[in-house]
Structure 1
Amino acid sequence: MLSYQHIYHAGNLADVQKHALLCFMLDYMAQKDKPISYIETHSGRALYHLDAAEAVKTGEAEKGIAALAKAFPKDHPYIRHLATVRELHGKTAYPGSPLLAALCLRDGDALHLAELHPQEHAALTDVMGRWGANIHKRDGYEFAIAATPPTPRRGFMLIDPSYEVKADYDAIPKHIAAVARKWNVGTIALWYPLLANAAHIGMLAELSERFPDALRHEVRFPPVREGHKMIGSGMFVINPPYGTADEAKRLSRLFA
C-alpha cells in the first residue's frame, strides 16, 4: 500500500516529539569529531508547507508545532533548524526528518534516504538532492538491511513507517533485530503511534524483550478530531546517545 502522505499530519504533536528527540540526538553525536552515517527508511518528502490544503484540512499543526514552539528553549536544535528552514523556504515551511538530519550533520557525514511512494520520492529527490543525500526508491525495511553496516560505521537510523500495513506491527521487531545484528554499534530509533486499539502493545513488548536497555519514550495527547485513533506518540531507541533520557523527560513536561 502506498496511499500515505505525511502532508496531512506535518507538524503535529507526534512530529514535535519525534523531531525534537531526533535533533537532540544528532546534535549531540555531531559534537564529537567523528563522522556519522544517517539512514532513514521511510523518508517522505522532507519539506512541507503548513498552509497547503492538505495540512489546513486536518489542522494538526495548529495543535502541534504552532502551539508548542515557544515552549522550547530558543537554542534547542529543533527550534534552531526550524528557523533556518523558514528563512530558506518561508514562514509556513516545516522540515521533515531528512531535512532536519541534514541540518544537524556536517561535511564528511553521510546521508542515506529511502522512500518508495512515487510522488514522495520525487519530492524528496527535489529537496534533498542539493544536500548531497543518497536517495533510494526502495522498500524501507529491505534498505535498512542493505545499508548496514554503513561507512562511516558510527551512525543513526530512523525507522518511521506509516503503519498503514497492519502487518508492520508484527514484522518490525524482527526487522530491527536483523539490523542490530549487522550493526550493533548503531543508534536505531523507531517512531510508533499510540493507538486507542492498542495495536502497538505487542510490538513494544517484543522489542523491550529483545532490547531491554533501549530507551522507550511516550507522550499522550487527545485525538486531534472525533474518531481519530492516535492518542499519543512513541520513540524506541537502541543505543541512545548520552543525555537522551534526560531530554526525553524534559520533553514529556511540554506535553503534560
Structure 2
Amino acid sequence: MLSYQHAFHAGNLADVQKHALLAWALDYLTRKDKPVSYLETHAGRGLYRLSAPEAEKTGEAAKGILAHADWFPAAHPYAQRLAETRAMLGDDAYPGSPLIAAMTLRDIDRLHLAELHPQEHAGLVQAMQGWEADIRKQDGFEMALSLCPPTPRRGLLLCDPSFEVKEDYDRIPKVFAALARKWNVGILALWYPILRGGPHGPMVAALKAQHADILVHEVRFPPARDGHRMEGSGMIFVNPPFGLADEAARLSALYKGLR
C-alpha cells in the first residue's frame, strides 16, 4: 500500500493551495521571538524537479505553479520559499512542505518529519542535508502521537497523507482528537483531496463536530487530465492562526477564476 510518489504531482494546483497556506502560517508563527515545533506526518521526499520525467508525464505542475506563480507577490512567504529554492537548487526545483518549513524555521525551532515509503524516505534524507531535522522512517500518526505535546509547545503539525490507504479517512478524526487532547495549543493542519464521489465528506464532518476552533478551506479546479478523479483539494486548520482565514479567502477568489 506504499505506491504513492508525489513527484508525479508536485507543484500542481493542490500543492499551490497547501503550500501557500502552510508558508503563510509558518511565517506568522516565526514572527514572534518564541520557539516553534513543526511536525509532518507524511513528508514525502522534500524536493522535486519540475523538469523530471514524472512531472512532465502528468503535466500537473504546468497547470499549477508554473502557470499561476503570479498569484503570489514577491513578499508572500510562498513566493519567497520558491525563489530561495530556485536560487539554491536551480530553476526547476520545487520545495515540498518539509523544505518550505526548514527554510522558514529558525535555530530556536524544531523540525520533526516522518516518511514510511523507502524511496521517498531516502529522497527526504538527501533533500534535508544541511538542515537540522529529526527524520524518521516511521508511521507518521505514531510519530505525532509519541511526540505530542512537543518541545517547544508552540507550533504546527501538518498531516498530508495520500489517502491511498482508505482507512485514513476514518483514522484521521480519531488521531486529531487525541492530538488535540495532548497538545491543545498546537495548530493541527490537514490536507485532503476532493475526489469524485466525495469520500472526504464524513471525515470533514467529524472534524467539524469535534473541534470548536476550525478553519475549512476547499478549492475546486479542473481535473488534471481525462479520467482523473481529483476535482479539488481541501485544507483544515484546528486552532488556525489569526489572519489565515483572510489568506484562504484570497486564494478562493483566485481558484474561482479557473472555471
TM-score scaled by length of structure 1: 0.99
Unaligned runs of 5+ in 2: none
Which portions of structure 1, spanning 4 or more consecutive aligned residues, are displaced by more than 3 angstroms?
A: none
1:162 positional shift: 0.6
Instruction: Check conservation: 2:173, 2:206, Cα contact below 8 A.
Output: yes
Give the aligned partner of residue 18 of structure 2: 18
Question: Which string of whole-angstrom CA distances, capped at 9 and with x for unpartnered residues, describes residues 80-133 of structure 1?
Answer: 110010011110100000000111111110000000001111111111132011
- Cα separation, 2, equivalents of 1:212 and 1:153: 20
Unaligned runs of 5+ in 1: none
Counterpart code for 1:27? D
Give the aligned partner of residue 36 of structure 1: 36
SS of the aligned residue for 2:24 comes to helix
- Cα separation, 1, equivalents of 2:189 and 2:215: 9
1:75 positional shift: 0.7
Aligned length: 256
SS of the aligned residue for 2:18 comes to helix
Taking only the aligned residue pairs, the percentage that are identical comes to 63
Counterpart code for 1:133? A
Counterpart code for 2:2? L
SS of the aligned residue for 2:249 comes to helix
Counterpart mapping for 1:72-151 below 5 A: 72-151=72-151
SS of the aligned residue for 2:128 comes to helix
Give the aligned partner of residue 215 of structure 1: 215
Instruction: Check conservation: 1:68, 1:254, Cα contact below 8 A.
Output: no
TM-score scaled by length of structure 2: 0.98
Question: Which string of whole-angstrom CA distances, capped at 9 and with x for unpartnered residues, describes residues 189-211 of structure 1?
Answer: 00001111110001001111011
- Cα separation, 2, equivalents of 1:106 and 1:224: 36
Higher mean displacement: 123-132 or 202-211: 123-132
- Cα separation, 2, equivalents of 1:4 and 1:46: 14
- Cα separation, 2, equivalents of 1:42 and 1:201: 21
SS of the aligned residue for 1:157 comes to strand
1:212 positional shift: 3.3
Instruction: Check conservation: 1:12, 1:65, Cα contact below 8 A.
Output: yes
Instruction: Check conservation: 2:213, 2:240, Cα contact below 8 A.
Output: no
Counterpart code for 1:217? H
Question: Which string of whole-angstrom CA distances, capped at 9 and with x for unpartnered residues, describes residues 40-77 of structure 1?
Answer: 00000000000100110000001100111012111101
Counterpart code for 1:16? V
1:213 positional shift: 2.2
Counterpart code for 1:237? F
What CA RMSD, in Å, does the superposition of the two structures yield over aligned residues?
0.7
